Structure 1
Amino acid sequence: MGTVAELWRHPIKSHGRETLNAVQFTAGDCMPWDRHWAVTHDTTKFDGTGWAHCRNFMIGSRTPALAGIWAQLDESAGTITLRHHDIGSVSFDPDGDTSAFLDWVAPLCPPNRVAPKAIVKADGRGMTDSPFASISIMNRASHKAVEAAMGQSLEQERWRANIWLDGIDAWNELDWMGKTIRVGEAEFEIREPCVRCMHTAANPVTGHRDADTLGTLKTSFGHTNFGVYATVVKSGHVAIGDQAQVL
């Protein structure tokens, strides 16, 4: 049916991404370390335990410059390094003193909007956009279809996927609702489409909004969906090049 083309995680929600060669997925869990942390702001309502809606955190749809952040997590050391085209890099412990991070990220945040306050995490799961522990799966052919409709190249990182698949017809993934797919050794139940936001309009290198992704999706394809959310129903190892098929 298709193959795994890329694997990505986003250690701090809306604050950077990094590519991986392989991942061990666990049934019922998010991708390990994906959206493990999130950044609160002036009006956050979060009790420090379970999942909370994205409006409670600093996100790219409201702070476009965040889209330009890249990340590198050192799991053994418990540290993360973030870098941005405009402000360089910073390394810190997300569970420790985050003052260096807050000083570093401040120039990316508009003065008339909420300001970052702290880094938090939920008990036992990542702070995904969905209330369930989700994995986002996306299709390279659908991305190419959007590029063709826009008449320009578009960075795949705008969509913030966990798993990119190749060798599947464009938009075929939107027909998978309620189905189970096997990717590598793991199995995923497809739950719902990813409804996109303005974060996708921002360039992942510069952080500037430079593409009408939502308008293109709506006018050319009749919806604002890109990719699907799934849950892990069978644990297993997934690596680039692995096969993917609907069961």
Structure 2
Amino acid sequence: MRTVRQLYRYPVKGLSAEPLTEVALRAGEGVPLDRQWALTNGSWTFDAGSYTPRPKTDFIALMDHAALASLATRYDDADNCLHVSAPDGRHLRIDVDDPAACGGLARFIAQHINARLEGPPAFVSGEGFRFTDVSVLSHGMMNAVSLINLATVREVGAALGTDIDPMRFRANIYMDGGEPWEESSWLDREVTVGEVRARVVMRTPRCSATNVNPVTAERDMTLPATMMERYGHRELGVYLQVLDGGAIAPGAVVTPLP
């Protein structure tokens, strides 16, 4: 039986995952607070009033900055604060509604990644949009929910002769109990996940962010290139668009519909 093994949100694009014990999804919307904030890379100026989705290369993200994986972050819903801990023991508590605090976080991140940026980065958010990798495709895709089949991850790892940490793929839903690669055949089909009904709308192409070890923050694999060489593609996982909302928790049954 296919069931949900784990659920995650990623409040800040490129920063660490937060496990969820339950998530309530609404039709046409993504996981609440997923990719709600992001850090610009200093090459452009963010304006919430005129913002249109931009490619992930315009943000500070794992594909270019592996050191982000060494930061432990947690968003506190009750206090509306982001907690950031660095390997050297430094800890920041950021009120995400305080512009000065957000500016301090952006400077802290720039110092931590030790990269030459085109300009000062900014910690940004916006009402009504989220900073997902596929936000540039459409409003619907911006709110898509990502799903990983753990059987596929294990099969790829076995084929490559190594264990692959599933967290490299930064998905919202991790499913187990299915067959390897079966999710790839669900494109344009509907699935139920617990109380939720959704449509599989896209296979997920993988970028160099998956090369970063989420535990050590080292770039120790070449997953997209190796997958392309072995399978002729670099897709792993799928995106879902929520049709009927409801609650999902670990243990929820995942069923592809005819």
Distance 2:179 2:123 in 1: 39
Q: Are residue 227 (structure 1) and residue 237 (structure 2) matched? A: yes
Give 1:62's aligned residue.
64
Query: What RMSD in Å do the two structures reach over aligned CA positions?
Result: 1.8
Distance 1:158 1:44 in 2: 28
Of the candidates 85, 93, 96, which is equivalent to residue 94 of structure 1? 96
Q: Are residue 73 (structure 1) and residue 83 (structure 2) matched? A: no
Contact 1:158 1:199 in 2 (8 A): yes
Q: Gaps spanning 5+ residues in structure 1: where?
A: none
> What's the secondary structure of 1:145's corresponding residue?
helix
Give 2:9's aligned residue.
9
Distance 1:116 1:72 in 2: 24
> What's the secondary structure of 2:105's corresponding residue?
helix
Q: Gaps spanning 5+ residues in structure 2: where?
A: 136-140
**1:74 maps to amino acid:** D
**2:12 maps to amino acid:** I
Contact 1:16 1:82 in 2 (8 A): no
Distance 1:159 1:68 in 2: 16
Give 2:109's aligned residue.
105
TM-score by length of 1: 0.93
**2:131 maps to amino acid:** M
Distance 1:196 1:107 in 2: 27
Distance 1:11 1:68 in 2: 16
Distance 1:59 1:171 in 2: 27
Contact 1:46 1:52 in 2 (8 A): no
**2:122 maps to amino acid:** A
Contact 1:217 1:223 in 2 (8 A): yes
Give 1:208's aligned residue.
218
Count the aligned residue pairs: 247
**Offset, 1:42:** 1.5
C-alpha distance 152-86 of structure 1, shift in aligned 2 (>3 A):
farther
**1:184 maps to amino acid:** G
**1:196 maps to amino acid:** R
Distance 2:107 2:121 in 1: 10
- Give CA deviations for 1:18-53 in whole Å, capped at 9, x if unaligned: 111110001111100100011112213544244332
Give 1:144's aligned residue.
154
Give 2:127's aligned residue.
123
Give 1:51's aligned residue.
53
> What's the secondary structure of 1:102's corresponding residue?
helix
Which deviates more from structure 2 when the two are superposed, residues 2-11 or residues 105-114?
105-114
Distance 1:56 1:153 in 2: 31
Map 1:140-179 onto structure 2 (within 5 A).
Answer: 140-179=150-189
